[in-house]
Amino acid sequence: MKKLLKGLLTLGNIIGISLPSVLVISCNNTKESKEKIIHNLEIIDVKFRNSEQNIVIDKVTFKSKTNEINFKLIETKIQKEQKIAILKFEAYQENNQKLLLTFEKTIQIGLFETISFYSLIKNLKYEVSSNLTINKMTKIKPTNIADGDTFYLDELGFRFVGIDTPEKYNAKNSIQEKYGKIASLFSKKILEDADEIYVVPQRNFYSKDPHDFKDKYGRVLVIVIVKIKENFFNLNLELVRKGKAKMAYISLNKNNRYYTDNEEFFNQLQHAQNLAQKEKIGIWDTLVNINEIYP
């Protein structure tokens, strides 16, 4: 995304819900034919974000319900105070041969949940490596997103280091399963929307091998960095900050099996969790029992 205010970026999906009014800019057709033309426009998705205190539309996905009419998006506007987006379209007769009308559709954006990015990386300190190497970032493309904190590249598993999302598949109760699915969908959404995905393997100090970066299940322990437009974000931190995961399996105590020498990352996780707990969001909601989410 573009430059952000205080590292905050909002990325959301808007499923096309239109307000009652449609403004026709120009048209030579009858009122009935206008309505028929507009009815054939289906808005599928709108991606938007907050940048420098302004809401910006990144992409509008739409289609025509008929082969006889094509639509072209020619302008987008945001009215932040009213929380609406105004999309200006042109409708053409098949193959863009004849302009039928120009009209605006209004989309209410305030009704939809957004994902606020907390972990903007201002100074990316990791070197890029073509091979998995401790504290170096390698570009990958997951082939399977198993749950909120685990994904695979073919047969090789990757485990988000320092965090734990609730179980989704082997849940011991419905509450745990619910929050496990929430975390899984969150990670899946970000990973699928990211322009690029990088992993930064972290050393397993419990192993005697100084080059070991895998857990006991053979999964690579990683910090997951996603690139969206021109910015990089730490997905481990996002999960904790949004109350989708808790800080776990990480310690600054050298006698602890989960010891890490990445003190900066440890402190970032701690701060993100403190904020989530303070705001009582996600797994820290006072309406749920954390012991049921992590039995």
CATH, residue 226:
2.40.50.90
Same-domain pairing of 43 and 103 = yes
Tokens (6 digits) for 109: 């954006």
Same-domain pairing of 110 and 136 = no
Same-domain pairing of 252 and 227 = yes
Tokens (6 digits) for 154: 């073919």
How confident is the model at residue 113, as a pLDDT? 39
Q: Is 49 a catalytic residue?
A: no
Q: Is 238 a catalytic residue?
A: no
Same-domain pairing of 171 and 289 = yes
Q: Is residue 226 in some structural domain?
A: yes
How confident is the model at residue 141, as a pLDDT? 96
Q: Is residue 120 in some structural domain?
A: no
Domain stops at, among 89, 115, 141: 115
Q: Which domain holds residue 238?
A: 125-293
Rounded to the nearest 5°, which phi and psi values hold at 121? -95, 110
What span, in angstroms and rounded, lies between the C-alpha atoms of 138 and 277?
Answer: 32
* Identified catalytic residue from 49, 159, 203, 241: 159
Domain stops at, among 88, 115, 142: 115
Q: What is the pLDDT of residues 173-190, one digit of tens each?
A: 999 999 999 999 999 989
For residues 100 and 69, the answer to whether their CB atoms sit within 8 Å is yes
Burial class (CB in 10 A: 0-12, 13-18, 19+), 114: middle
Domain stops at, among 51, 80, 115: 115
Q: Is residue 219 in some structural domain?
A: yes
Rounded to the nearest 5°, which phi and psi values hold at 247? -70, 130
Same-domain pairing of 143 and 250 = yes
How confident is the model at residue 249, as a pLDDT? 98
Same-domain pairing of 145 and 286 = yes
* Identified catalytic residue from 49, 90, 167, 241: 167
Same-domain pairing of 87 and 136 = no
Within the chain, which residues score under 50 in pLDDT?
1-21, 110-115
Closest by Cα among 104, 112, 43, 62 to 83: 112
Same-domain pairing of 37 and 180 = no
Q: Is 75 a catalytic residue?
A: no
How confident is the model at residue 134, as a pLDDT? 98
How confident is the model at residue 169, as a pLDDT? 87
Q: Is residue 203 in some structural domain?
A: yes
How confident is the model at residue 24, as a pLDDT? 56
* Identified catalytic residue from 49, 90, 203, 219: 219
Total domain count for the chain? 2
How confident is the model at residue 287, as a pLDDT? 84
Closest by Cα among 200, 212, 213, 220 to 151: 220
Same-domain pairing of 130 and 244 = yes
pTM of the predicted model over 0.85: no
Same-domain pairing of 240 and 195 = yes
For residues 185 and 274, the answer to whether their CB atoms sit within 8 Å is no
Same-domain pairing of 145 and 289 = yes
Q: Is residue 4 in some structural domain?
A: no
